[in-house]
Amino acid sequence: MTTDKSNESIKEAIASWEAYLKKNPNNFLKIKDVEKNAILTGHNLKNKAFFQWADILEKYEDLSSWFNDLMIKKNLSVIVVEFKRLNGTSSRYDAFMETRKYDVSLVLQELKNRSTAKVLSTTTNIQPMESKPAQPFTPTVLPAPTHNTNGYEAAVMQNMGGLGGAGMAAGMGFRELVTLEKKAEQSDFYKDRVAKLEKENAIFIIDNRELQAKVSIAEKEKNIAIKEAKQEAKNWSDPENVKALIDSVGPIMATVMETRSPAVTSELGMGAVSNLSEIKQNFIKYMNEDDCTDAQMKVLEDLLVLMITNDGYEEQLRTLVSKTNGAV
């Protein structure tokens, strides 16, 4: 990045800055104080770091006066100037303008020397005032303010197209037209923002409907599972179903008995009761009671086979016995 330092180079640079800002109302300068590593700010409504031609004209006659005042107030030495343009709600660099670094220390020193010399000259040339008779006071009536649009500003308004022509036809000044254009850009920004929010809200509504549908399906599946569980429990507690299940065990029982070891059967037949647990011995006692019929023993035998040959059946049978005891 080249650095311009001479007085003439700075003057030429200021002239090129002014031409750039006048070319398009959306053009602006962004200036960095290199020594302080800080971005200079003004009073732009969109961004205080933007220096546009309309903002400068509010207080200064030309860009040179503005920049001289800026150098003195900020005590600038080395600056970097960027040339940018507003693009909707954002901004972009101007491809035809090169970011440049300027050493304005010599120009600033010349301004300070000139200002000091002017003060000294004014002090030296002070002359005593001649006394004059008092004059009667006559109030001055100021004319009503009118729009002061110079030739350049009128040309800019004409180049702004329909908006500039309409502003001139309505008797608007350049500054009023620029202010109106800024308000229009702000209005467009908020319109775009509202449209974006409405679009996002529509997406949220669709997502919410999909979630509600999924919740509804899950609720229905849960209700179906509960009904099936209740029906299964009812089937196990139904005496007719239990009887049908026991009747179907007959063939299984016969197969199991055929595969049993004859030695085990013989041992039990020989009265090896003393080797059994207390619960099994009590069961054998119940078998020898007169009230215990062969039919009852057949049911118990079938249930025993079911518990041995079917995983989970014992737990289901315990649940059924528990419900029956509770009902009694």
Residue 34 lies in a domain: yes
Residue 36 lies in a domain: yes
Final residue of a structural domain among 120, 155, 184: 120
Question: Distance between CA atoms of 103 and 6, rounded to whole angstroms?
Answer: 8
Q: How many CA atoms lie within 13 A of 200 on its CB side?
A: 6
Residue 261 lies in a domain: yes
Question: Distance between CA atoms of 289 and 303, rounded to whole angstroms?
Answer: 20
Number of domains in the chain: 2
Residue 72 lies in a domain: yes
Q: pLDDT in tens for each of the 328 residues of the chain?
A: 666 666 778 889 999 999 999 999 999 999 999 999 999 998 888 899 999 999 999 999 999 999 999 999 999 999 999 999 998 888 899 888 889 999 999 999 988 888 776 656 554 554 545 555 555 555 444 343 344 555 656 666 666 656 566 666 666 776 777 777 778 778 888 888 888 899 888 998 998 998 999 998 998 898 898 888 777 656 655 666 666 666 655 555 555 455 544 444 444 554 556 688 888 888 888 788 888 888 888 888 888 888 888 888 888 888 888 877 765 4
Question: Distance between CA atoms of 230 and 312, rounded to whole angstroms?
Answer: 18
Number of CB atoms found within 10 A of residue 239's CB = 7
- Look-up: residue for tokens 């709600």? 89
Final residue of a structural domain among 94, 120, 146: 120
**Residue 232: both structure tokens together:** 């299964």
Residue 266 lies in a domain: yes
Side chain identity, residue 52: Q
**What Rg value do the Cα atoms of the chain yield, rounded?**
51
Closest CA to 317 of 258, 237, 252: 237
75 contacts 81 by C-beta, under 8 angstroms: no
Range of the domain at 250: 238-327
Residue 270 lies in a domain: yes
**What's the per-residue H, E or C state across 22-63?**
HHCCCEEEEEEECCCCEECCCCCCCCCCCECHHHHHCCCCCH
61 contacts 119 by C-beta, under 8 angstroms: no
